[in-house]
Structure 1
Amino acid sequence: MNKVLITAHRVIAGPADQVIVDGAVLVESGVIAAVGPATQLDALADTQVPRLRCPGATVMPGMMDCHVHLAFDAGPNLISAVADANPYELSTAMADRARQMLAAGVTTVRDLGDRDGLTVALRASIDSGITVGPRIVAATAPLTSRGGHCGFLGGEVTTDEDIRTQIARNAAAGADLIKVMASGGALTPNGPRMWEAQFTPRQLHLIVEEATRHGLRVAAHAHGTETIGHCVAAGVQTIEHCSWRTAEGIVYDPAITQRIVDNDISICRCVSGDWKLFLEQMGPERSKAMIEVIQEMREAGVRFIAGTDAGVPGARFDDYVGMLEFFASLGFKHAEILDMATVNPAHALGLSDTGALAPGMRADLIIIDGNPLTELAALRRIQHVFTAGRSVTK
Structure 2
Amino acid sequence: MDTLISADRLLTGPAGQQLTDAAVLVRGDRIVAVGGRDELRQQARAGSDEQHHSDATLLPGLINTHLHLVADASRDPFGAFRTSTPEAVFEAMADRALQALDAGVTTIRDLGDGHGLAFALRNEIASGTRPGPRILAAGTPLTPPDGHCWFLGGVVEGPDAIRARIRELADAGADVIKVMAGGGQTTPGGASPWESQFTLDELRLIVAEAGAVGLPVAAHAHGTQTITDCVAAGVRTIEHCGWRGGSGKPDRRDDVARRMAAAGIYAGDTTPPNWPAFAARIPFPPGHRLGDQLPWMDSLGVPIIIGTDSGMPGAVFNDFVSALEMYTELGFPNDRILQFATANAADALGLSAVTGCLAAGLAADLLVVDGDPLTDLQTLRRPRLVMARGRIHHSSAQQSEEETTADV
* Bucket of the pairwise TM-score, normalised by the shorter protein: over 0.9
2:346 alignment partner in structure 1:
346
The separation in 1 between residues aligned to 2:264 and 2:286, in whole angstroms, is 28
SS at match of 2:90: helix
1:379 alignment partner in structure 2:
380
AA partner of residue 51 (structure 1): E
1:357 alignment partner in structure 2:
358
Cα deviation per residue 1:269-301 (whole Å; 9 max; x = unaligned)?
Answer: 100111111111113527815543222112112
Q: Is the 8 A contact 1:354 1:362 kept in 2?
A: yes
AA partner of residue 336 (structure 1): R
1:13 alignment partner in structure 2:
12
1:268 alignment partner in structure 2:
268
How far off is 1:130 after superposition? 1.4
1:296 alignment partner in structure 2:
296
Q: Is the 8 A contact 2:98 2:133 kept in 1?
A: yes
Cα distance, 1:152–1:86 mapped onto 2, change above 3 Å: same
TM-score of the superposition, structure 2-length normalised? 0.94
How far off is 1:224 after superposition? 1.1
AA partner of residue 377 (structure 1): Q
The separation in 2 between residues aligned to 1:164 and 1:7, in whole angstroms, is 50
Q: Is the 8 A contact 1:35 1:357 kept in 2?
A: yes
Cα distance, 1:286–1:364 mapped onto 2, change above 3 Å: farther
Q: Is the 8 A contact 2:2 2:44 kept in 1?
A: no
Cα distance, 1:331–1:5 mapped onto 2, change above 3 Å: same
How far off is 1:43 after superposition? 3.0
Q: Which runs of 5+ in 1 are unaligned?
A: none
AA partner of residue 388 (structure 1): R
Matched, 1:311 2:302: no
Cα distance, 1:290–1:323 mapped onto 2, change above 3 Å: closer
2:217 alignment partner in structure 1:
218
Q: Is the 8 A contact 2:58 2:367 kept in 1?
A: yes
How far off is 1:44 after superposition? 3.1
The separation in 1 between residues aligned to 2:269 and 2:284, in whole angstroms, is 19
Matched, 1:136 2:132: no
SS at match of 2:339: helix
User: How do residues 160-309 of structure 1 correspond to structure 2 at under 5 angstroms?
Assistant: 160-248=159-247, 249-285=249-285, 288=288, 290-309=290-309
Cα deviation per residue 1:94-132 (whole Å; 9 max; x = unaligned)?
Answer: 000000000100000000000000000001110111111
TM-score of the superposition, structure 1-length normalised? 0.98
AA partner of residue 363 (structure 2): R
Q: Is the 8 A contact 1:68 1:309 kept in 2?
A: yes
2:403 alignment partner in structure 1:
none
Q: Is the 8 A contact 2:60 2:358 kept in 1?
A: yes
Q: Is the 8 A contact 1:9 1:56 kept in 2?
A: yes
The separation in 2 between residues aligned to 1:92 and 1:67, in whole angstroms, is 20
The separation in 2 between residues aligned to 1:26 and 1:346, in whole angstroms, is 21
Cα distance, 1:322–1:17 mapped onto 2, change above 3 Å: same
1:37 alignment partner in structure 2:
36
1:61 alignment partner in structure 2:
60
Cα distance, 1:284–1:222 mapped onto 2, change above 3 Å: closer
2:393 alignment partner in structure 1:
392
Cα deviation per residue 1:315-362 (whole Å; 9 max; x = unaligned)?
Answer: 000111110001111111101100010000111011121000111101
**Structure 1 vs Structure 2 CA RMSD:** 1.2
The separation in 2 between residues aligned to 1:324 and 1:290, in whole angstroms, is 13
The separation in 1 between residues aligned to 2:284 and 2:242, in whole angstroms, is 16
Q: Is the 8 A contact 1:6 1:24 kept in 2?
A: yes
Q: Which runs of 5+ in 2 are unaligned?
A: 396-408
2:401 alignment partner in structure 1:
none
The separation in 1 between residues aligned to 2:29 and 2:137, in whole angstroms, is 22
The separation in 2 between residues aligned to 1:121 and 1:238, in whole angstroms, is 24
The separation in 2 between residues aligned to 1:161 and 1:246, in whole angstroms, is 31
The separation in 2 between residues aligned to 1:16 and 1:8, in whole angstroms, is 18
Cα deviation per residue 1:44-78 (whole Å; 9 max; x = unaligned)?
Answer: 32442110111111111100000010000000122
The separation in 2 between residues aligned to 1:192 and 1:171, in whole angstroms, is 27
Q: Is the 8 A contact 1:279 1:287 kept in 2?
A: no
AA partner of residue 301 (structure 2): G
For this pair of structures, how many residues does the alignment match? 393
Matched, 1:107 2:113: no
The separation in 2 between residues aligned to 1:293 and 1:384, in whole angstroms, is 34
Q: Is the 8 A contact 2:182 2:197 kept in 1?
A: yes
AA partner of residue 393 (structure 1): H
The separation in 2 between residues aligned to 1:364 and 1:254, in whole angstroms, is 37
The separation in 2 between residues aligned to 1:55 and 1:68, in whole angstroms, is 34
SS at match of 1:382: coil
Cα deviation per residue 1:236-278 (whole Å; 9 max; x = unaligned)?
Answer: 0000001112223221111110011000001111001111111
AA partner of residue 109 (structure 2): R
AA partner of residue 22 (structure 2): G
Shifted more, 124-133 versus 99-108: the winner is 124-133
AA partner of residue 377 (structure 2): L
The separation in 1 between residues aligned to 2:121 and 2:147, in whole angstroms, is 26
How far off is 1:138 after superposition? 0.3
AA partner of residue 311 (structure 1): G
